[in-house]
């Protein structure tokens, strides 16, 4: 069987050459693009202004253009929604919808599973299945916007997977997501989180995008970082920080450092001092995340007093630090938890 064409992963230029190769007028591409990326169509049937014959051909030759929603959990506390989507090949991915004062945000997955192996993360448990295509990343935003019925203004690539290990697809996803002919989400409202894939952080810095880069730091020494995040053994901490400085120099965008606090692991006074020293003089922002305990992992969350003491210490040392609001705690909202639960029931 020949591979089906993934028209939803094409930018307007690519779609135009696909359409003209199929003997149709080029304006048809604009119409299709609008159906997919502005009206957020679920099927080719909805594209009623296309000739019926061409529509039938698209049905046959193109891969399905919408993700199937397998489950949704809605937090009674704060309205956070956690979605489980089924891919055409049977893999499942999860995405989260959150409401903030500044707008609605969706956290998307960039891979089915993850190869990075972070010790505190549920996504690492089953390993990597595969990269997501641009269409599969876009669809998480599209299906959620349609389901909630409100505009999504912010997108964070902080769900399952390492986005910088799926580089080309990530870039195409950002291009289409921020395109004026699509949802037109501002580049500044898009955040990509990485565990620190140095060569691709540098590559991203050179793309001249205005997106925010977030680095999962989680420890102030190379040793402790390697213990928490096995991938850290591939890149020296200093090289990772240099890549962050390079990103700031090239884009003018302040890098966010994510630091998940685990009780008795990385939340001591010494850790806070070490972190403040490591980051001193940088134009950056630290986002403290009380670790979300995962059943299969041994880590416990630091209590609120420890989190606040850690934050105070950073702030006193001139480091801009905030504590992430804990949304959706009642619905398995930690990375990979819902997906893990679903996969357990399939075995
Ligand atoms: N691979 C990327 C993006 C996915 S993880 C990265 O590593 O940045 C998104 C963020 O959630 C990362 O900072 C990750 O370390 C953090 N995270 C994963 N599991 C967590 C947990 N149980 N509690 C708190 N944060 C967690």
Q: Say whether pLDDT at 333 is over 70.
A: no
Q: Say whether pLDDT at 112 is over 80.
A: yes
pLDDT digits (tens, 9 = 90+) for 149-180: 999 999 999 999 999 999 999 999 999 999 99
Question: Residue 324's pLDDT is what?
Answer: 85
Q: Say whether pLDDT at 311 is over 60.
A: yes
For ligand 1, mutation pick of 156, 213, 216, 286 (most atoms within 8 Å of CB)? 216
Q: At a CB cut-off of 8 Å and minimum separation 6, what does 131 contact?
A: 110, 111, 112, 161, 165, 166, 169
Which candidate, 317, 231, 330, places its Cα nearest to that of 279? 317
* Span from the CA of 107 to the centroid of ligand 1 (angstroms): 12
- Over residues 33-59, mean pLDDT: 96
Ligand 1 lined by 292 (C-beta under 6 Å): yes
Ligand 1 lined by 334 (C-beta under 6 Å): yes
Q: Say whether pLDDT at 344 is over 90.
A: no
Question: Residue 7's pLDDT is what?
Answer: 97
For ligand 1, mutation pick of 111, 124, 132, 158 (most atoms within 8 Å of CB)? 158
Residues with a known catalytic role: 94, 335
* Span from the CA of 59 to the centroid of ligand 1 (angstroms): 38
Across the chain, what does the average pLDDT equal? 93
Percent of the chain with pLDDT over 90: 85
Question: Residue 345's pLDDT is what?
Answer: 67
Question: Residue 78's pLDDT is what?
Answer: 87
Q: What is the pTM of this model?
A: 0.95
Ligand 1 lined by 216 (C-beta under 6 Å): yes
Question: Residue 292's pLDDT is what?
Answer: 86
pLDDT digits (tens, 9 = 90+) for 201-231: 999 999 989 999 999 999 999 999 999 999 9
Percent of the chain with pLDDT over 70: 96
- The atom of ligand 1 lying closest to the CA of 120 is 22
pLDDT digits (tens, 9 = 90+) for 135-154: 999 999 999 999 999 999 99
Reported confidence tier of residue 73, pLDDT bands at 50, 70, 90:
very high
């Amino acid at each position: 069987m020949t591979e089906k064409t993934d028209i939803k992963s094409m930018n307007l230029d690519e779609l135009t050459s696909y359409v003209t190769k199929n003997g149709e007028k080029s304006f048809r591409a604009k119409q299709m693009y609008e159906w997919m990326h502005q009206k957020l169509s679920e099927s080719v049937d909805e594209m009623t202004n296309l000739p019926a014959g061409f529509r039938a051909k698209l049905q046959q030759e193109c891969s399905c253009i919408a993700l199937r929603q397998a489950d949704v959990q809605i937090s009674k506390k704060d309205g956070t929604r956690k979605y489980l989507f089924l891919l055409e090949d049977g893999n499942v991915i999860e995405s989260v919808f959150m409401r903030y004062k500044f707008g609605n945000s969706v956290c998307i997955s960039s891979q089915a599973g993850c190869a990075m192996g972070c010790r505190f993360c549920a996504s690492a448990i089953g390993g990597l299945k595969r990269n997501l295509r641009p269409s599969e990343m876009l669809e998480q935003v599209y299906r959620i916007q349609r389901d909630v019925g409100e505009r999504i203004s912010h997108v964070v690539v902080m769900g399952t997977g390492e986005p910088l290990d799926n580089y080309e697809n990530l870039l195409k996803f950002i291009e289409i997501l921020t395109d004026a002919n699509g949802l037109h989400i501002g580049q500044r409202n898009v955040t990509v989180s990485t565990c620190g894939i140095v060569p691709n952080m540098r590559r991203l810095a050179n793309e001249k995008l205005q997106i925010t880069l977030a680095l999962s730091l989680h420890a102030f020494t190379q040793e402790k970082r390697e213990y928490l995040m096995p991938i850290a053994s591939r890149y020296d901490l200093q090289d990772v920080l240099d890549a962050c400085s390079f990103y700031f120099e090239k884009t003018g965008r302040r890098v966010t450092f994510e630091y998940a606090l685990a009780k008795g692991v990385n939340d001591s006074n010494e850790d806070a001092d070490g972190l403040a020293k490591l980051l001193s003089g940088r134009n950056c922002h630290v986002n403290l995340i009380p670790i979300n305990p995962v059943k299969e992992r041994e880590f416990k969350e630091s209590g609120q007093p420890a989190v606040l003491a850690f934050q105070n210490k950073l702030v006193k040392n001139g480091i801009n630090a905030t504590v992430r609001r804990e949304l959706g705690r009642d619905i398995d909202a930690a990375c990979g938890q819902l997906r893990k639960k679903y996969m357990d029931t399939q075995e």
